[in-house]
Amino acid sequence: MRLATRVLLFLNKFFRPPVHPFNLANQGTMRYADWQFERGHLTLEHYRPFASPEEIMKGKTVLDIGSGAGGKTLYYATLGVKKIYGVDVVPHYEEEARAMATEKNLADRAEFLTADATQLPFADDFFDVIIANDVMEHVAEPEAVLREAFRVLKPGGRFFTNFPPYYHPYGAHLSDVIGIPWVHALFSEPVLIEAYRELVRGLPDADMRLRLRLGDPERNSTRLTYINHMTIKRFRRIVAESPFHVAHWRLVPLRSFLRPLAVLAPEFFMKAVVCILEKPARA
């Protein structure tokens, strides 16, 4: 084991990780889908300066990219959608999401499928709204995701997205077991991976966690494939080069009292990038 890994593991003993759905599920406290459902309203609150949750969803045909176990998708469904589709690349989420839709009597309004956001199985101009919560920091080809979103949106349709930038305190997305803020700015990815392997060892869902973070955990020990290092600067460029019109852009600081630091070093002290993109209406 690397010396740096030993240092990380030692320091981590002094930091309690934030509440994480994987740990809640292991403790038998709450399923991932239920955790998503309970937090669905928080996603939509990001857009309230532009539109209320009901204005975004009511009567609309909606696509939720990166729907996970379907909880947030089903929360959106309760807001009067005409129909909502949830897509995710993790196959077992489809079954979990469909089961929860049946539990909540929302199966007539919510449909789930396993699909790549760069190759969506929908016709052109199909959706009124696309929402992507905590997605743009994960996808391998964010430019292709935006191009595909543009294709399936109706003219005048809107793409709602929010995500934590890479240098967010927990932007490495390892906070299920590593509680050190900005750990990815202090240690290399091979060190993070080695420490993560050690910390999940023995957990009942260790294999799932490793595959989610690393893709192929048997061969990959150098790169976190679960993240794409999406910074604010990079996303600004991607949006500027996309065919979308920017309807709303906002950066949310970690805490209100940290606003001065967020102005000086936004990549490190912003909690979320909030962006609404609009497909121009045809002339």
How much is the pTM? 0.95
pLDDT at 282 exceeding the cut of 90: no
Alpha helix positions (H), 78-156: 91-103, 142-152
- CA distance readout (Å), 172 to 22, 211, 233: 16, 15, 17
pLDDT of residue 259: 93
- In this prediction, residues 201-208 reach a mean pLDDT of 95
What percentage of residues in the chain have a pLDDT greater than 90? 97
The gap between the terminal CA atoms of the chain, to the nearest Å, is 62
Cα dihedral value 28, 33, 37, 42, nearest 10: 90
- Token pair of 53, please? 């949750």
Q: Is residue 256 scored above 80 in pLDDT? A: yes
Res. 36: pLDDT tops 90: yes
99-142 per-position pLDDT tens digit: 999 999 999 999 999 999 999 999 999 999 999 999 999 999 99
Quote the tokens at residue 41.
């309203």
